[in-house]
A and B are shown apart, each in its own frame.
Chain A
Amino acid sequence: MWSREGPDLGAALGREALAYIDTLHNTARYLTGNDADAEDLVQETYARALGAAAQFTPGTNLKAWLFRILRNTFISLYRRQRRNPIVGGLDTVDPTAQGPADEVWLRDDVELDRLQNVVAEEIEKAMMSLSEEAREVILLDLEGLTEVEVADVLGCAVGTVKSRLARARAALRQQLKDYAR
């Protein structure tokens, strides 16, 4: 699977790249929804990373660079085949606007308490019900990437990251509301 000039380029990239395999696989699993596709996606990501190793600038954020490759690979291999659970993009709505259901939820302190009792499976289910766009921005944020790095991974402006993240988290809260009863 490696390119002919792989050894030179791989050495240039360093074995540090392999240190991110768990975190890349976790994101891949949430994007694809199953282990087999996630493994293929991670394997293809590393193959492409090796092929593009000459383009990596040492000293820059290797993790963010790998996430960008993972995301681009996912788009080219999987996203076109898949159904998007939420109609409409996250960028189409004013991120600061609070939906009516959200307002109701926030008014109710009891709901906030119940949220503490949501179990892991329900969070995963709620995540998987979101659009891939929402899932990826939540996961990248959770990975500790800065907004600038997330913007670089997603190929959009920092302001767009802010608004996507706000909409994605609002959508997730809305989903979790159903479990927090």
Chain B
Amino acid sequence: MDCQDVRSQLLDYQRGRLKPGPRGEIRAHLEGCAACARAEEAEQALSELLERRLPQHPASLALKRRLAAQWPSRPPVRGSWWSRWGRSLVPAFAVAVVLLVAMPLYYDQGRVRQATGTPSMVGEAVNDHLRLLTSQHPLEVESGGIHQVKPWFTGRIDFAPVVSFAGDQEFPLQGGAIGYYLDRKAAVFVYKRRLHTISLLVFRAEGLPWPSRGLETMGSVRAYSTVARGFNVVLWRAGELGYALVSDLDSRELLALAGKLSGAS
């Protein structure tokens, strides 16, 4: 592999898109070629400059309000008896069928309840994240550091959210807000990674259908990670509190943040 080959693949190399073979060849070349090593540094410096300092231009509140008001949320109900009543009965029939099939399994195997409930936890986490993204005032407290955000929740929720990770250069803490997770209040912490918004929901863990299978060890906790509607979601519990981390960020990077959070929490 010569200098020209290496230069043309530097971005792929830095973003981990190469297979082990070519990646090793490039690494070996960079160790022996000062010019290509400087080119690699220059690419890295440019990426960091863009990610950290390129000014961002979010939409104005007026535009958000206008589009949100005009965006249709549900189709109108019209048409025949079947379309009005028959269709609405389909979910009921479906529920009946599911109950008939699932009830014996429920009694045979307690895990089923947890497995079937988990999607609702994942779905709710994604919904909360979307609500935050589309909100006209996503952050109720802007971050001046974790010691400003955490005390803000006092008196607003019925528990103290345990989040020891104060954010760092990779994942700066943006602020917090109060949210609702299923039937309970949640403390929402918002982190950033480049242009990606990451929501961390903290809520009381008891009484929820936590997943018991497909768990990975992450620091001192066992976490469940999945993808829903294009968003990566990581769920875990620590003591009496539950945590849901959601973002469109790459799953590897999101798990890295989850590691920092769970290791500290």
Interface positions of A (Cβ within 8 A of B): 1-2, 6-11, 15-19, 21-26, 29-30, 35, 38-39, 42-43, 46, 50, 61-63, 95-96, 98, 105-107, 109, 112, 115-116, 118-121, 123-124, 127, 138, 142-144, 162, 165-166, 169, 172-173, 176
Contact = CB atoms under 8 A, between A and B. Distances in A.
Contacts, number: 137
Contacts of B49: 115-116, 118, 123, 176
B70 interface: yes
B50 A7 contact: no
A22 B58 contact: yes
Contacts of B60: 35, 39
B124 interface: no
A123 B43 contact: no
Interface in B221-248: 229-230, 248
A144 B196 contact: yes
The 4 nearest A-B residue pairs measured at CB: A10-B72, A7-B72, A25-B59, A29-B57
B53 interface: yes
B30 to A, nearest CB: 14
Interface in B53-67: 53-60, 63-64, 66-67
B59 A39 contact: yes
Given A39-B60, A123-B50, A124-B55, A169 B71 contact: no
Given A106-B38, A166-B8, 8 more contacts: A19-B130, A21-B67, A21-B134, A95-B8, A106-B35, A112-B42, A162-B8, A166-B11
B158 interface: no
Contacts of B130: 15-16, 19
B104 interface: no
Contacts of B103: none
B7 interface: yes
Interface stretch (B73-81, B105-113, B143-151, B206-214): B73-81
Interface of B: 4, 7-8, 11, 35, 38-39, 41-43, 45-46, 49-51, 53-60, 63-64, 66-68, 70-76, 130, 133-134, 194-196, 229-230, 248-250
A26 B72 contact: no
A11 B7 contact: no
A26 B197 CA distance: 14
B50 A142 contact: yes
B57 A35 contact: yes
B63 A142 contact: no
Given A11-B75, A16-B130, A19-B133, A143 B67 contact: no
A7 B74 contact: yes
Contact of B45 (A6, A50, A112, A162): A112
A26 B38 contact: no
Given A21-B59, A22-B59, A144-B196, A109 B38 contact: yes
Contacts of A119: 53
Contact of B4 (A96, A143, A169): A96
B219 to A, nearest CB: 26
Given A35-B57, A142-B195, A8 B75 contact: yes
Contact of B71 (A17, A63, A96, A166): A17
A123 B195 contact: no
A7 B35 contact: no
A24 to B, nearest CB: 8
Given A19-B133, A63-B230, A142-B51, A11 B45 contact: no
